[in-house]
Amino acid sequence: MPKALRTIVLASLLTWPLHAFSQALSVDEKVKYILEITDFQRVTNAAFEGFKPLMVNQLRRSSNKITPELAEHIANIAGDEINNMKPEFTAFVVDLYKKELTEEEIGAFYDFYRTPVGSRVGRKMTKFTENMIPQVQAFMTRQFLPKFQARLVRDERLRNALSP
């Protein structure tokens, strides 16, 4: 077999399983891979960590009964709630991808991110995150804050500090 033909056959055999694997994955699995390659969890963790002090400071301004110890307790509650809702938040983002992109576009992103160049580009992607911020804020207002506020109201250590 000529060397050029052997190279083509070998390349086809090496890329065929990747293409077949791509076809076997669900759209959700492809989106989750895209989130993984674009460091979604790291970016999300940083955003949540930045959100906590803002929230605690707002509570401290609303009541002079919030001591530094209670502020730390509130921050811990916020951290717990954020950790508890990460799967729900990830599902929200997966659904957002599926709402904003077609299956074909998601498949193309997935296939691209599976390449070495795509992997590097994916890790540098920030534009989607910038566009997602207003929707994330709406999600946090709708999902996180009511749960967080309800937990604060039920917390024995905070009952006095948060009362008028």
The pLDDT, as a whole number, for residue 23 is: 60
Domain boundaries, the chain: 26-162
Residues in the chain: 164
Give residues with Cβ within 8 angstroms of 95, minimum separation 6.
Answer: none
Tens-binned pLDDT, residue by residue, of the chain (164 aa): 555 544 444 444 444 444 444 568 999 999 999 999 888 887 788 778 777 777 777 788 778 888 888 888 988 898 898 889 989 999 999 999 999 999 999 999 999 999 999 988 887 776 677 677 778 888 988 899 889 888 988 898 887 787 76
